[in-house]
Chains A and B, each alone.
Chain A
Amino acid sequence: MNINWANVFDWMQLLRCFLVGGAICIIGQILIDKTKLTPARILVIFVTTGAVLGGLGIYKYVVDFAGAGATVPLTGFGYNLAKGTIESAQQNGLIGVFTGGVKAAAGGIAAAVFFGYIASLIAKPKIKKQ
């Protein structure tokens, strides 16, 4: 299989990805430092924001511009859920609303559950001093 490495290392694309991905993380850092929100709440806020922006059709432009810089942060996870739901609703109507989102995010969810469980099993428990 021949891989054209010039396409893989498209520096302008990587720069856009770096800047947007970093900017989204800055928002998260400001939320951590300036508010008393727990990490769990911040993750929830990001996923919900992504789903809403995806539903409004705004986040699509961010993804077109930044690629993985927009899909790797958790907002991209929410966007993926919303996008899958809408695409599936177009085809299957109401039942599509319930199947589409999770179907689109199935790879990530299943990987998180599977690798999460495996990693917890191999993890060495910290030995507590008696």
Chain B
Amino acid sequence: MDPTQSKQEYQKYVDKKSPNSPTGKNIFNAFWTGGLICSIGQIIMNICKERGFDQTTSGTIVSIILIAIAAILTGLNIFNKIGKFCGAGSLVPITGFANSIVSPAMEYKSEGYVMGVGGKMFTVAGPVLVFGISSAIIVGLLYLIFNTQAVTLV
């Protein structure tokens, strides 16, 4: 059968040929890889605490280390291969934030180091920062108005 005979048949042919993503397997992979990345973070955090840093500083150190690893792995083209397997398992942890900065920057390197790398770095990270910081400020304003964290519950 010639798959391009009619639109309908062509659509059927496309549906048959295109890989339908095995959701169950994706979810399982996302679960254990995501959990693993968080556990690595927890181990780093525990080591920091053992060395005498407080909770907040330990959390910052964990973020910095994970971001550095993810950024360098992306630069070496390794992260993309891991990311294909992990799906959300590597996207949702802070490693995905680092990856979202480096990938577009690499892509647009040919446009120069200022507008290419420096500008395109924020194609995904920009919105994340805009919405993250803005919503935090709104939360803070609500807190100031109602003057208690519990009232903002309503």
Chain A interfacial positions (CB closer than 8 Å to B): 1, 3-4, 7-10, 13-14, 17-34, 39-40, 42-44, 46-48, 50-52, 54-57, 66-69, 71-74, 76-78, 80-82, 84-86, 88-89, 93-94, 96-98, 100-102, 104-105, 107-109, 111-113, 115-125
Contact A123 B102 (CB under 8 A): yes
- How big is chain B's contact interface, by range? 35 or more
A28 interface neighbour in B30, B72, B102, Cβ under 8 Å = B30
> Which A residue's beta carbon lies closest to that of B150?
A57
* Residue of chain B at shortest CB distance from A54: B139
B86 to chain A, nearest CB (A): 8
| Other A-B pairs beyond A26-B30, A123-B102, 8, CB < 8 Å | A13-B46, A31-B88, A43-B92, A68-B45, A72-B62, A82-B139, A100-B140, A115-B98
Pick from B1-9, B10-18, B35-43 the stretch touching chain A.
B35-43
Please tell me if B115 contacts chain A, counting CB pairs below 8 Å.
no
- Determine whether the beta carbon of B102 is less than 8 Å from that of A97: no
Most buried by A among B56, B94, B113: B94
Query: Residue B82 at the A interface, CB < 8 A?
Result: no
Quick one: which of B31, B67, B133 contacts A108, CB cutoff 8 A? B67
29 A–B contacts, CB within 8 A, in A order: A4-B50, A17-B35, A21-B93, A25-B88, A26-B30, A28-B30, A29-B26, A42-B91, A43-B92, A43-B96, A47-B128, A47-B131, A50-B132, A51-B136, A55-B139, A55-B142, A55-B143, A57-B150, A66-B38, A69-B42, A74-B128, A81-B133, A116-B102, A116-B105, A118-B71, A119-B75, A120-B75, A123-B74, A123-B109
How many pairs, one residue from A and one from B, have CB atoms within 8 Å of each other in the complex? 302
7 closest Cβ pairs, A-B complex: A25-B34, A21-B38, A55-B139, A22-B35, A28-B88, A119-B75, A97-B140
Residues from chain B with Cβ under 8 Å of A123 in the complex = 74-77, 102, 106, 109
Find chain B residues with CB under 8 A from A119 CB: 71-72, 74-75, 102
Q: Is the CB of A33 within 8 A of B23?
A: yes
